[in-house]
Amino acid sequence: MGIEVRLQELLTERAGTTTVSMRELNQKTRAVIDRVMKEGSTLTVTDRGVPIAEIHPVSQKAGLDRLEELGLLAQRGRPFEEGWKPRQFEFSLEEWLEDERGEERLERVMVNLRDASDG
């Protein structure tokens, strides 16, 4: 099961979504829209039992706010705890990179020398 399908199922469960068939939507469009407006709920449109679309009231809330409201998302708090300090190292990032690159260069030279002596 894909993550999108599972997320849709969770949204449906949390929002108390009901379904309406394509046929019913075609025959009773006004009644379906009135129901969405009156109840403020989301309707899932199905085609032969397979969900294909949703009809929901227009919301001023963004997608992430809607997920938070449904309990599927919690916004982060502060990014770091008070008093948090980065770890100090005995060497700088530049020194570490230079050392790593030096080892890579040495390995390439050794491979080239070995290949040259084999050939």
Model confidence over 14-31: pLDDT tens digits? 655 688 899 999 999 999
Whole-number Å distance between alpha carbons of 63 and 80: 26
In this prediction, residue 14 carries a pLDDT of 60
CATH tag, 17-64: 3.40.1620.10
Higher pLDDT among residues 11 and 70, named by residue: 70
Whole-number Å distance between alpha carbons of 67 and 69: 5
Q: 33 and 65 in contact (C-beta within 8 Å)? A: no
**pLDDT-based confidence at 66, cuts 50/70/90?**
confident
Instruction: Return the domain boundaries, the chain.
Output: 17-64
Q: Please determine, for residue 1, whether its predicted confidence score (pLDDT) is greater than 90.
A: no
Give the closest residue to 45 by CA, choosing from 63, 23, 68.
23
Q: 71 and 63 in contact (C-beta within 8 Å)? A: no
